[in-house]
C-alpha cells in the first residue's frame, strides 16, 4: 500500500463528502451577501483569536468573550451567515477527526 495513493484517495473522499459540498454551497451563497460575509468573517476572526489566546495559556477577558457572544447573536439572525457557519463547523469537525486519527498514528510511531 502506497501512502501517497491513500492520501490522494482521502482528498478525493473529502471533496466528495457531504460536509465539503455543503460548505462550498454555503460559501457561494455567502459571497453573494456582503453583510452576511462580513458577519461570518468577523465572527470567525474573533473566535479564532479567543482560541489562540486559550491555546497559549491566556484567559480571555469577560469583554472579549461577550464580544464574540454578541457577534454570534447577530450572526444567528442572518440565515445565510448562519448556514455558512454551521457548514464550516461541520467541515472543521470532519477535518479534526481525520487529523486526530493521523496524529494518533504519529504518536504511536514516535512513542513506540
How far is residue 37's CA from residue 31's CA, in Å, rounded to a whole number? 6
Residue 78 is placed in which grid cell? 442572518
Return the CATH number of 3-111, one of 1.20.1500.10, 1.10.3720.10, 3.30.70.120, 1.10.3210.10. 1.20.1500.10
Q: What is the pLDDT of residues 89-109, one digit of tens each?
A: 999 999 999 999 999 999 999
| 74 Cβ contact list (under 8 Å, min separation 6) | 39
How far is residue 17's CA from residue 97's CA, in Å, rounded to a whole number? 14
What global pTM score does this model have? 0.88
- Give domain limits for the chain: 3-111
Q: How confident is the model at residue 112 (pLDDT cuts 50, 70, 90)?
A: confident
Amino acid at each position: 500500500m502506497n501512502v501517497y495513493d491513500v492520501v490522494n484517495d482521502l482528498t478525493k473522499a473529502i471533496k466528495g463528502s457531504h460536509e465539503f459540498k455543503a460548505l462550498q454551497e454555503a460559501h457561494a451563497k455567502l459571497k453573494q451577501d456582503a453583510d452576511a460575509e462580513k458577519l461570518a468573517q468577523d465572527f470567525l476572526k474573533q473566535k479564532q483569536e479567543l482560541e489562540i489566546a486559550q491555546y497559549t495559556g491566556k484567559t480571555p477577558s469577560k469583554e472579549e468573550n461577550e464580544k464574540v457572544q454578541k457577534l454570534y447573536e447577530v450572526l444567528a439572525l442572518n440565515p445565510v451567515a448562519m448556514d455558512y457557519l454551521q457548514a464550516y463547523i461541520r467541515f472543521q469537525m470532519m477535518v479534526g477527526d481525520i487529523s486526530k486519527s493521523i496524529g494518533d498514528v504519529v504518536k504511536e510511531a514516535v512513542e513506540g
